[in-house]
Amino acid sequence: MILIMEDIPEHAFLVQHALVSLGFLTVVCHNTFRGIDMVRQKEFDVIVTDLRMPEMGGVDFIRYVRMFDKHTPIVVISAYADVEAKSETLKVGANYFISKPFRPSDIKNVFEQFK
C-alpha cells in the first residue's frame, strides 16, 4: 500500500492514477497531520509526499516520519525542483525526488523497484 500525501485533489488523482496503472494499491491523504497519524498506525510500502502543503511542508513531514520510521521509502513529487529543494529533502530522509510535471515513465522508473 502506498500513501500519497498531496493537498491538491487533482494532483493526488494524477499520482494515484499513475501508481494504480502500475498495479499498486494506494490511499490518499490531503492533511499532513492526519498523514503522520496514518504512518504511526499502519505500515506502508512507500510514502509519496509533495513539498508544499498548507499545514506542514513536505520537509517537516519527512522529518516527523523519520523520527519513528527509518525504513519506509519516501518519494517526493514536487514542482519545486530546484537543486536546494532536492538536496534538502534527501538530507532529511527522502529516498527519491520526482519533478512535476512528471511523465508516466518517471513514476515507472522509480516505483518499478517496489513491486
The pLDDT value given to residue 61: 95
User: Are the C-beta atoms of residues 15 and 77 closer than 8 Å to each other?
Assistant: yes
13 in a structural domain: yes
Instruction: Please check whether residue 112 lies inside any domain of the structure.
Output: no
pLDDT tens figures, 22-65: 999 999 999 999 999 999 999 999 999 999 888 898 899 999 99
Q: Nearest Cα to 51, choosing from 22, 19, 115, 8?
A: 8
Beta strand pairing call for 2-5 and 26-29: parallel
- Whether 56 is in a domain gets the answer yes
Q: Does the residue 100 lie in any domain?
A: yes
Q: Which three cell numbers stand for residue 10?
A: 487533482
In a domain, 92, yes or no: yes
Q: Is the pLDDT of residue 81 over 80?
A: no
Q: Which domain holds residue 53?
A: 2-107
Tens digit of each residue's pLDDT (9 = 90 or more) over 87-105: 899 999 999 999 888 888 9
Instruction: Name the pLDDT band for 79 (thresholds 50, 70, 90).
Output: confident
Q: Which of 104, 81, 109, 90 is nearest to 15 (CA)?
A: 104
Counting the structural domains of the chain, the total is 1
Q: Which CATH number does the domain housing residue 78 bear?
A: 3.40.50.2300
Residue 113 belongs to some domain of the structure: no
